[in-house]
Structure 1
Amino acid sequence: MSQDLTAANKEKLVSDMKVVISDAEEILRATAGAAGEKVGELRTKIEVRLRDAKERLADAEAALVDKTKAAARATDDFVHDQPWKAVGVAAALGLALGVLIGRR
């Protein structure tokens, strides 16, 4: 279920985490004064939301790892296919960084 993490997915994840935090605060307030049926219902609700949030975070992490590995493979392939271009790009970046650092 690895999918691209779009802006809508990020917003949904943030929204879900806010709901989980809100539920956690509510359960803390409920357990401060009284225990009983309400506490059990809140704990069940928060367990379900935490499980859902963990699944979404795991999916997001898997997507990020997949994208990172793909980028690393593409870079490795480029360097092996065209080593002199890679050396030229690295030298140009080094020169640009040296100039930027030297201005400070």
Structure 2
Amino acid sequence: MADNNTFNADKEQLLDEVRNVLNNTEELLASAGDNGSEKARELHLKLQNNLKLAKDRLLDAEKAALARAKEAAKVTDQYVHTHPWKAIGLAAAVAFLLGLLVSRR
């Protein structure tokens, strides 16, 4: 359970860092302006298109992750309603093991 929480925290941190990089790139691109040669303008346009594509992909990844999380919650809820005693037993076993681990410290 702790590994899953660590994984989720790492994933959220990575998404935040990607968002920051995209925002910083967008700010740099805006501050650079369209002044310069034709090649500079082409590069500027390509950077804008790539930045938009990266932002769209990040948004799609966030939506997919949210959909998977909702589906997992739905399946878990259905399982607990279908097998309440198994869920209670599993929760008790996990609580007991966590109690043992905490008491050792």
TM-score of the superposition, structure 2-length normalised? 0.62
Which structure 2 segments of 5+ residues have no match? 1-17
Partner of 1:80: 81
Q: Deviations over 1:32-74 (max 9, x none)?
A: xxx4124422221111001111121122112111111111001
Report the counterpart of residue 99 of structure 2 in structure 1.
98
Q: Which residue of 2 aligns with 1:62?
A: 63
RMSD (CA atoms): 2.4
The Cα of 1:84 is off from its aligned counterpart by 1.1
Partner of 1:3: none
CA distance in structure 2 between the aligned counterparts of 1:99 and 1:82, rounded to whole angstroms? 26
Q: Deviations over 1:20-39 (max 9, x none)?
A: 88xx5xx77xx5xxx41244
One-letter code of the match for 1:58?
L
Separation of aligned partners in 1, 2:65 and 2:46: 29
For structure 1, the 5+ residue unaligned runs are 1-16
* Structure 2 residue matching 1:36: 3-state secondary structure: coil
TM-score, normalising length: structure 1: 0.63
Runs of 4+ with >3 A deviation: none
Instruction: Quote the Cα distance in structure 2 between the aligned partners of 1:42 and 1:98.
Output: 59
Aligned to 2:36: 36
Q: Secondary structure at the match of 2:49?
A: helix
Q: Percent identity?
A: 47
